[in-house]
């Protein structure tokens, strides 16, 4: 039973639904007419599967992410979180500390998120922070990828929010020294100042 559309992105449409009476959302990767049909099908399948696997890994390691309820070829069914994303809510200071702690936890299990912005962090009614949208996530121990997650957040929030975020990250991360050092290097070398990164 699919009901209302929640969101429509470049790659996927999110609908509200239920799985075995559990409130859920379904992330449906839409067909791209400009891609050759067979390749398009393979890409959507592979990305759906990859996102499901990384979500399941993060879940199993205690990172706050929605649970995977069901996986179809191009659709991912996740538990529906009740709340709003940080770019829409005007969150408290604590939320950015939680965002830093949560990213450290994710990096400690060697997952990079790939799009760690306030739009992909959801604060629920009880004040718990959740990471969503693992569409660009990777299983990796790359210091560079981890530093880029931090850089993207740095460019997406104000100075005070970033300070709270970075401080909590540094405390929680197993390799914060190397990662924050790399962040400084990336900023000095001026790489990744690309439109995609600046506009998300
Ligand atoms: N598990 C969820 N519970 C509630 N809302 C969700 C959930 N997952 C996604 N959403 C909503 O749908 C929007 C888009 O989802 P997201 O996974 O970020 O897809 P996209 O790749 O299109 O950005 C989110 O910003 C959020 O508002
Ligand atoms: Mg998103």
For residue 17, pLDDT over 80 is answered with: yes
pLDDT tier, 192 (very low <50, low <70, confident <90, very high otherwise)? low
Task: Please give the pLDDT value at position 10.
Answer: 87
* pTM given for the model: 0.92
136 three-class SS: coil
Examine the residue annotation and report whether 115 is marked as an active-site residue of this protein: yes
- Helix, strand, coil percentages (3-state) for the chain, rounded to 5, are 45, 20, 35
Looking at the CA of residue 80, tell me the nearest atom of ligand 1.
3
pLDDT at 2 over 80: no
Ligand 1 centre distance from Cα of residue 7 (Å) = 7
Structure tokens at 38: 């067979």
Q: Which carries the bigger pLDDT value, residue 20 or residue 191?
A: 20
pLDDT at 191: 63
pLDDT in tens, 156-184: 999 999 999 999 999 999 999 999 999 99
Instruction: Classify the C-alpha dihedral 114-98-58-87 as positive or negative.
Output: negative
Q: Is the CB of residue 12 below 6 angstroms from any atom belonging to ligand 1?
A: yes
Contact 121, 165 (CB under 8 A): no
Residue 195, pLDDT above cutoff 50: no
Q: What is the mean pLDDT of the chain?
A: 93
Strand partners, 14: 7, 27
Q: pLDDT value at position 133? A: 96
pLDDT above 90 for 198: no
Q: Is 148 in the pocket of ligand 1 (CB under 6 A)?
A: no
**pLDDT tens for residues 85-123?**
999 987 777 899 999 999 999 999 999 999 999 999 999
For the chain, which domains are there? 5-79 (3.30.200.20), 83-199 (1.10.510.10)
Which single residue is written with the structure tokens 């001026």?
190
């Amino acid at each position: 039973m699919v009901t209302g559309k929640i969101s429509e992105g470049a790659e996927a449409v999110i609908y509200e639904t239920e799985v075995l009476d559990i409130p859920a959302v379904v992330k449906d990767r839409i067909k791209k007419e400009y891609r050759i049909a067979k390749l398009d099908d393979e890409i959507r399948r592979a990305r759906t599967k990859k996102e499901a696997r990384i979500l399941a890994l993060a879940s199993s390691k205690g990172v706050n992410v929605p649970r995977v309820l069901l996986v179809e070829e191009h659709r991912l069914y996740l538990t529906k979180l009740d709340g709003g994303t940080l770019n829409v809510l005007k969150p408290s200071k604590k939320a950015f500390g939680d965002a830093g702690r949560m990213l450290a936890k994710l990096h400690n299990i060697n997952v990079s998120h790939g799009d760690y912005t306030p739009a992909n962090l959801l604060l629920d009614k009880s004040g718990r922070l959740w990471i969503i949208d693992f569409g660009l996530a990777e299983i990796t121990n790359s210091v560079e990828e981890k530093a880029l997650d931090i850089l993207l957040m740095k460019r997406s929030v104000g100075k005070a929010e970033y300070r709270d975020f970075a401080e909590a990250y540094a405390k929680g991360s197993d390799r914060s020294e190397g990662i924050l050092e790399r962040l400084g290097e990336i900023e000095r070398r001026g790489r990744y100042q690309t439109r995609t990164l600046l506009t998300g």
